[in-house]
Structure 1
Amino acid sequence: MSPDWLALDTAHVWHPYTQHGIAPTATPVVGGEGAYLHLADGTRLLDAISSWWVTLHGHAHPAIAAAIAEQARVLEQVIFAGFAHEPGARLAAELAAVLPAGLTRVFYSDDGSTAVEVAVKMALQHWRLRGQRRPLVAALEHAYHGDTFGAMSASGRSVFTEAFEDHLFETARLPDPTEGDTVAALDRLLDERGNELAAVIVEPLLLAAGGMRVWSEDTLRAIRQRTADAGVLLIADEVATGFGRTGPLWACDRAGISPDLMCLSKGVTGGFMPLGVTAAREEIFQAFVSGDRRHTFFHGHSFTGNPLACAAARASLHLLLDDGCTARRGEIERAHRGALDALASHPRVRAPRVLGTVAAFETEAGGAGYLEPVGRELAAYARGEGVLLRPLGNTVYLMPPYCATASEVHNVYRVIGRFLETR
């Protein structure tokens, strides 16, 4: 039986990425524990996508819940302009200690999209403060950086952005590294418009929402070398790839590079609270330091540096750096590889790939991209089998929380295999 509040949801809530004209009634969730969501009808749903990639350690993790509760009894919110608090200060220092070398300054915002907005604005204003007008940002085809206007401008053009096309700023588009020669295109761009180029933004090694496209470390290293040689800023959007998702703590670590600006969100609080982080090199921060108030970085949010979110993030980071978490991530990666090896011979499975705790493949497509119906069909089938999946069109992916066991991961693949047999 549905809970009485579900009718209120149907009557009043506008859900994200939902076509309410054809979507079924939203699934009512009443709780969560570990890798599972608890539904109103008493069933459990294995969360194989970490609830949009945010739930690192599992639902309702007691250590993070306790950190939030303890902080809530002390200080729940304070304006972050002109004020400081311990959770924000300690989180910034703890992040700086584990971020790629040189990223010493932390600016807080609300989510991944705002973290990207902050990075792009920092890059553009940084050049103005140095007396140079560099209005151009370069980004990859099939990239996804968020749904605010600056983030959409940097994202690849798609069904996500087409309604707003006339309002997006110009971006120099580089080929998707899985499809073209990104480095050669960047070389041409630097030759032709290098003096206009403020920054290059990439999702390092994994174009996530663009189809879980895995690209090479060599290409990332070459982009870093080209931008460094040209004095152009490199922005690494690690909103999806950070906090161990690609194996090491950061995808940039996997390639052995350090960007000038890095964007973080999603897993930063273990999925408990909204928080965005933009990390910057000290020299970028110093460009804004002046006796002239017009040189201020004029950006902020009402909940910038929220103490509860910072407390949650500190607890999540502590769990992440534990050796046990590293071992569990390795177990998930091995489970992916074993299960995908077995599934790879299926005639409806194409391009299987694994990067850390992320696994993906394509199944048959009708050319509709993100709107390809097979994704919705698999999601509905998996929901009936007790598994939460949300394919990106015909791209099927798994990104489970780190508490998921190898047997639970293998069970998800068995569900997918049974679905493929029904096609």
Structure 2
Amino acid sequence: MTNLNQHWMQRDIAALWHPCTQMKDHEHLPVVPIKSGSGVWLEDFDGKRYLDAISSWWVNILGHANPRINARIKAQLDALEHVILSGCSHRPVIELSERLGALAPAGLGHCFYADSGSAAVEIALKMSYHYWQNRGRPEKKRFLTITNGYHGETLGALSVGDVSFFTHTYRSLLLDVIKVPAPDCFALPREQWVSHAAARFAEMEVALARHADELAAVIVEPLIQCAGGMRMYPPEYLRWLREACDRYNVQLILDEIAVGFGRTGTLFACQQAEVRPDYLCLSKALTGGYLPLSVVLTTDEVYDAFYDDYASLRAFLHSHSYTGNPLACAAALATLDILEEDDVLAANRDRAARMARAAAPLASHPLVGDVRQTGMVVAIEMVRDRDSLEPFDFRERKGLEVFRHALSRGALLRPLGNVIYWMPPYVISDSEIDFLAEVTGEGLERVADSL
């Protein structure tokens, strides 16, 4: 390790408190100081490169230092860096709103912006709650969701999540949310996914019937429960959910913060079920991984419930200082341009097929209980016992062993507990996919050797 790498690591530990981290770990697990990025690669101050297998927390879909996004941001910087969006507007936010409304399921024509995924979820929850008040149904104020979900770490978003790693400490602060078992298809062959999801949906149906009069909305992550271990389920569940929400007069919030913009194989995951939510939450890949920006798209019906004279106090008085930031909107517009002009979704089908072939041999490893895939996401779940699917105790930190090995080999492969996953930028090459599979296999062998 060079003095330069060590220099930056020491300054980091003295001044920073890292997210989602037990800082004591860094007594024996060095922070990786990144100097630059290009394509799927990150480079430290020593010149060592790391393949960004997780798109830097699922945001960077078109590669680091993408020249077209760079150019769009630089051009915008010379014109306007920021302006208040209350009472003012600007070209990038107008153009972005128009394009998102045209690309999203028909009828989602109103965009409300924020700066993070959690903030988008907070907006959708508050908007749904407020909608029912404005419609004269104040008793409809609770939310329904599925277990093992994750929607962010602000208090409202945390309330509708169900990953205990994040929620248990703050339970007494959280909303009283109704939860039913998730339809995730862990360790099931693909041909059984729909029947399994149907059995799970029966429990959702019961909850909707029982609580319809007090429910504002249902919120779920479409197709992949990402922070919950990349658990997956079929689009049919979303179709049944939309129909049931309509029948019981309950709104539907779809959190596509992690799965939007081509990650699952379609631009938006809900398009695979041909459904339109009442609220569509987007962030992360929206700007290609460049700048913080999120948005909630909603319908005329919702918008109209807030449209009234000022004295009615029906307005949605929610705001963020950097709402609709022009630089972030410019990055988002460049991202949409690339997705469209380069026909990225079509190319992703070939990449996803290559990822499937690369991951297939891992399914026979004695410590692998499941290999699953939806679009450009592959998850390899480690278990202690393959036959019983007994998991490793979280305190054994087997995923950390894989992470350490991957870093030594030049890959940023940060597992979720015992789940190793690939969620790379869409510009990854075949040889780079094969490299990820090789490193993952080696990591599994390291875990096996440690038992």
Match of 1:49 in 2: 54
* Aligned equivalents of 1:43, 1:190: Cα separation in 2: 53
Q: 1:312 matched to which residue of 2?
A: 331
Match of residue 137 from structure 1? 143
Q: Report deviation, 1:335.
A: 1.2
The answer on 1:166 being equivalent to 2:169 is no
Find the aligned partners of 2:359 and 2:425 in 1 and give their Cα distance. Answer: 18
Aligned to 2:193: none
For the residue of structure 1 that corresponds to 2:111, the secondary structure is strand
Confirm or deny that 1:60 pairs with 2:65: yes
* Aligned equivalent of 1:364, options 383, 398, 402: 383
Name 2:130's counterpart in structure 1. Answer: 125
Determine helix, strand or coil for the equivalent of 1:414.
helix
One-letter identity of the residue aligned with 2:314: H
Task: Report what 1:236 is aligned to.
Answer: 254
Provide the residue aligned with 2:109 in structure 1: 104
Cα distance change, pair 33–221 in 1 and its aligned pair in 2 (3 A): same
Does the aligned pair in 2 maintain the 1:331–1:406 contact within 8 Å?
no
- Mean Cα displacement is larger for which, 187-196 or 396-405? 187-196
1:379-394 correspondence runs (5 A): 379-394=403-418
Between 168-177 and 333-342, the greater mean CA deviation after superposition = 333-342
- Which residues of 2 match residues 141-156 of structure 1 at below 5 A? 141-156=147-162
- Decide which moves more: 355-364 or 183-192: 183-192
Q: Is the 8 A contact 1:203 1:238 kept in 2?
A: yes
Deviations 1:77-100 (A, max 9, x none): 111111000000000001111001
Question: Structure 1's 176 and 2: CA in aligned 2 closer, same or farther, altered over 3 A?
Answer: farther
Q: Note if contact 1:372-1:394 (Cα within 8 Å) is conserved in structure 2.
A: no
Shift of residue 178, structure 1, vs aligned partner: 2.0
> Counterpart of 1:19?
22
Q: Secondary structure at the match of 1:9?
A: helix
The percentage of aligned residue pairs carrying the same residue is: 42
Q: With structure 2 as the length reference, what TM-score do the two structures score?
A: 0.91
The aligned counterpart of 2:194 is: none
Provide the rounded CA distance (Å) in 1 between the counterparts of 2:206 and 2:284.
Answer: 34
> Contact 1:343/1:417 (CA < 8 Å) preserved in 2?
yes
Q: Distance in 2 between matches of 1:206 and 1:379?
A: 22
Structure 2 counterpart of 1:205: 223
How far apart, in 1, do the equivalents of 2:14 and 2:173 lie?
32
The question of 1:330 aligning with 2:333 is answered no
Write the distance in 1 (CA, Å) between the matches of 2:205 and 2:436: 43
| 8 Å Cα contact 1:152/1:161 also seen in 2 | yes
* In 2: Cα distance, 1:213 partner to 1:341 partner: 18
1:163 partner amino acid: T
Match of 2:83 in 1: 78
**Structure 1 residues 337-346 or 150-159, which shifts more?**
337-346
Taking the aligned partners of 1:401 and 1:328, their CA distance within structure 2 comes to: 12
* Comparing 162-171 and 176-185, the one that deviates more: 176-185
Verify: 1:347 aligned to 2:366, yes or no. yes
**Partner Cα separation in structure 2 for residue 201 and residue 219 of structure 1:** 13
Match of 2:406, SS? helix
CA distance in 2: counterparts of 1:92 and 1:132, whole angstroms: 30
Which has the higher mean CA deviation after the structures are superposed, 125-134 or 153-162? 153-162
- Residues 2 and 40 of structure 1 are in contact (CA less than 8 Å); yes or no, is this contact kept in structure 2? no
| C-alpha distance 85-372 of structure 1, shift in aligned 2 (>3 A) | farther
**CA offset at residue 14 of structure 1?**
0.5
Q: Distance in 2 between matches of 1:34 and 1:163?
A: 38
Tell me the matched-pair count.
423
Which 5+ residue runs of structure 1 have no aligned equivalent? none
Structure 1 counterpart of 2:440, which letter? I
Displacement of 1:218 in angstroms is: 1.5
- The alignment partner of 1:161 has SS state of helix
Query: What are the residue-to-residue correspondences of 1:229-268 with 2, within 5 Å?
Result: 229-268=247-286
Confirm or deny: 8 A CA contact 1:137 1:199 kept in the other structure: yes
Match of 2:191 in 1: none
1:7 Cα deviation from its structure 2 partner: 2.4
Q: Deviations over 1:160-210 (max 9, x none)?
A: 111111000010102111277442222222222211010000101111100
One-letter amino acid of the counterpart of residue 379, structure 2: A
Q: CA deviation at 1:342?
A: 2.0
Once the two structures are TM-superposed, the CA of residue 247 in structure 1 deviates from its matched residue by 0.2
Cα distance in 2, alignment partners of residues 31 and 117 from structure 1: 33
* Conserved 8 A contact 1:370-1:392: no
- 1:211–1:392: 8 Å Cα contact kept in structure 2? yes
TM value normalised by structure 1: 0.97
User: Which residue of structure 1 lines up, in the alignment, with residue 424 of structure 2?
Assistant: 400
Higher alpha-carbon deviation: 330-339 or 373-382: 330-339
2:188 alignment partner in structure 1: none
Distance, in Å, in 1 between the alignment partners of 2:147 and 2:341 is: 36
Structure 2 gaps, min length 5: 186-196, 385-389
Compute the displacement of 1:370 (Å).
5.9
Task: Return the alpha-carbon distance in structure 1 between the equivalents of residues 343 and 231 of structure 2.
Answer: 29
Which of 269, 291, 295 is the equivalent residue of 2:314?
295
Report the RMSD for the aligned CA atoms in angstroms: 1.5
Displacement over 4 Å in runs of 4+: 365-372
Measured in 2, the distance between the counterparts of 1:127 and 1:403 equals 44
Q: Which digits, 9 at most, give the CA deviation of each residue in 1:229-280, with x for residues without a partner?
A: 2221100000011000000111101111111100000100000000011110
Matched-pair contact (CA < 8 Å) for 2:378–2:423:
yes
- Confirm or deny: 8 A CA contact 2:392 2:398 kept in the other structure: no
Q: Alpha-carbon deviations, 1:120-170, whole Å to 9, x = none? A: 111000000000011110011000000000000000140111111100001
